[in-house]
Structure 1
């Protein structure tokens, strides 16, 4: 038995629900031995196996093991049963910083204290090769003494995630807080992107609203890309100068964390404790990552799904917006003769989509190679006018029962590709396609909700 009433693993007295998501719940709990309050994140194993989130959970464990700092939520231990994974973490009694700023702007010295703690934590993360990539007031918690704690490393990236060009290429984060180079989807420096987000957080703390805000997402992108914002008249000149250097749309000239920490405004009232780099050398208990996903009763029944979906890419709200035809910055979905990619949505499971694509490739005598991230590469065997035709099909999960598929030419002749798509691929996919993107279509019955940004005060 996992629970004896509200007792978890004979070690924790499980209390009230603090928060809930698609794959996990967070409860307040009390350590039965020490009486200490903790937060326990309870993750459903079967759900994350089905949707290919195993690597993301492993990454979160690895990251929290690397990052031990006074201003980062501490991971005490990880436990597992046959059906659940339990993250036992530091309990931040003060809740989200977002709740404070939602009531209005903060005083300058209060905002500066939080910013100092945020920069100290982010600097330490970067020194360990960890880039958070989703810094915002909702992911900044407060302990009972009002000290800031960075949380939610589910979207974080490790240094080894970089491509050969030394950049990260996964678009993630919350639109209003992401750096211009992340929107451009051309690769970015994780440290520089985090610095930009810290600047947006500082602006929000001092102003009570976002620097980049527009109900039209295309206009929001444009404003972020050009760093088009206005300082409220109550911002001190020192803050304006610092923020101008942080919210520099060019990552190459954007201020570094070292320079931020040397800034005279930042230095005011700086707590000496922030100069401590970590809380100690002790390792969190029971962090054998592979053991957490060890054999269990459901492993045999989900083996095939795990093999197909373990690396299936997940779409967050930012990706969904970027992929939407109405917000496509490239214009590739406009009716023109040179488009090299098409996208469709499907309510079929990923395994059915993969099977259908493999059948089509077999009929067209194309070789199929499976790659990471839910990518299928289909290649011809004969040289065409512009080399061998190669088609990539990427499958992205929006929800477990709703997928977006992108089919695009990666090499070969465009006219040959368009002919195959029009005459062969599209007709063969008709029984699994819910809607082709960029065409007149009904809207999804259950659209993905977007977080409401903090609105500026009415003028």
Structure 2
């Protein structure tokens, strides 16, 4: 990394100062291509891009999150960077390095690389199973509880913002703090993704403000757990216009005896937990830590997997294959493409040491 970065303490160091006092930094202009070699553009959208890079001087690999100046104000960038740095000492929150700069038309900061992508890569139509869901649930609950203890709300808990550091899901980290705000903040209703939006926000007209509360994260965590256990979203939007949500609301209010589709796959204990996590009244909604109290109990009813597979329509609009988006492609799609490339005799794995050696030899030949 650069000279500025070498002076920094280790990445998990204790930060000083107040988490609610956003630092107003003077961002140095950096020639990104001169200092870093871009190994892969992981994601690129109109607001910016995420790149895996290697620092040319130290050969250290990091992620750079680059946000377009036209799409992100400097104050919003500094807020995201500030929260990312101050929260990163937690084991289950992505480590952000205390380095930010300007590069051409971008504001940029550095974070650690997640070698196994995001959680969306792992969820298929059948979910990831009870065991794996129970591995990641306490990690996410702990990360969110840590944020809530600091008076902050993530507001964007979903599959592609949960990064994987061990392929067996025993180590995941919460990422992406661009929507993070203090408890009590008046946020403006915008283009929140409906399947993850709690009813108290969903019912507000776009452009109107609402009060940020920790119950927002509880709702989104419950959606993530539901998707991990079933491979499908519980509904497309949490209001009466959605038939699946309307059926859930009736069942939750004990106005219907039969559990809605897929909720019937859960044990009675887990059904009770989801009733509390999906309470439409934010002040009565359970805290995220409620999840950890149920880890010792069975979550899926016996024979639920077979029943769920029989019910699932291949074109089900609530299937994660049709209703989630990840910055990484589906592993099945990746393998299909890689198989075709190998059949053509094309290289599909990059040996970075060999690549650097070849580059050095090419430079020597040109001199």
Q: TM-score interval w.r.t. the shorter chain? A: 0.5 to 0.7
Spell out the pairing of 1:227-242 with structure 2 (5 A cutoff). 229-242=260-273
Deviation at 1:2, TM superposition (A): 5.2
Indicate if the aligned counterparts of 1:108 and 1:206 stay in contact, CA closer than 8 A.
yes
Deviation at 1:110, TM superposition (A): 0.4
* Cα deviation code 1:334-388 (max 9, x no counterpart): xxxxxxxxxxxxxxxxxxxxxxxxxxxxxxxxxxxxxxxxxxxxxxxxxxxxxxx
Deviation at 1:195, TM superposition (A): 0.3
Partner SS state of residue 187, structure 1: strand
TM-score norm. by structure 1 comes to: 0.50
Spell out the pairing of 1:54-453 with structure 2 (5 A cutoff). 54-68=74-88, 69-76=90-97, 77-81=99-103, 83-145=105-167, 146=169, 147-159=171-183, 162-163=185-186, 170-171=189-190, 173-185=192-204, 187-213=210-236, 218-219=241-242, 223=246, 226=249, 229-261=260-292, 263-265=293-295, 452-453=322-323
CA–CA separation in structure 1 for the residues paired with 2:95 and 2:275: 33
Indicate if the aligned counterparts of 2:194 and 2:236 stay in contact, CA closer than 8 A.
no
CA–CA separation in structure 2 for the residues paired with 1:217 and 1:73: 36
CA–CA separation in structure 1 for the residues paired with 2:33 and 2:217: 36
CA distance 1:227–1:20, change in 2 (3 Å): farther
Which protein shows a greater Rg?
1
Deviation at 1:217, TM superposition (A): 9.3
Corresponding residue for 2:344? none
Corresponding residue for 1:317? none
Corresponding residue for 2:61? 37
* Cα deviation code 1:227-266 (max 9, x no counterpart): 76544443233322211211111112211234333x1326
Higher strand share: 1
CA–CA separation in structure 2 for the residues paired with 1:175 and 1:266: 32
Indicate if the aligned counterparts of 2:62 and 2:113 stay in contact, CA closer than 8 A.
yes
Aligned residue pairs, count:
258
CA–CA separation in structure 1 for the residues paired with 2:91 and 2:104: 33
The RMSD of aligned alpha carbons is 3.2
Indicate if the aligned counterparts of 1:181 and 1:188 stay in contact, CA closer than 8 A.
no
CA distance 1:453–1:83, change in 2 (3 Å): closer
Q: Extract unaligned runs of 5+ from structure 2.
A: 1-28, 252-259, 299-320, 325-367
CA distance 1:158–1:9, change in 2 (3 Å): farther
* Cα deviation code 1:373-423 (max 9, x no counterpart): xxxxxxxxxxxxxxxxxxxxxxxxxxxxxxxxxxxxxxxxxxxxxxxxxxx
TM-score norm. by structure 2 comes to: 0.62
CA–CA separation in structure 1 for the residues paired with 2:241 and 2:195: 12
Partner SS state of residue 54, structure 2: strand
Deviation at 1:224, TM superposition (A): 9.2
CA distance 1:122–1:198, change in 2 (3 Å): same
CA distance 1:144–1:179, change in 2 (3 Å): same
Deviation at 1:150, TM superposition (A): 1.3
CA–CA separation in structure 2 for the residues paired with 1:220 and 1:44: 39
* Cα deviation code 1:419-459 (max 9, x no counterpart): xxxxxxxxxxxxxxxxxxxxxxxxxxxxxxxx9526xxxxx
CA–CA separation in structure 1 for the residues paired with 2:59 and 2:104: 27
CA–CA separation in structure 1 for the residues paired with 2:271 and 2:96: 36
Corresponding residue for 1:381? none
Deviation at 1:221, TM superposition (A): 9.5
CA–CA separation in structure 1 for the residues paired with 2:240 and 2:198: 15
* Cα deviation code 1:302-337 (max 9, x no counterpart): xxxxxxxxxxxxxxxxxxxxxxxxxxxxxxxxxxxx
Partner SS state of residue 176, structure 1: helix
Q: Extract unaligned runs of 5+ from structure 1.
A: 269-450, 455-459
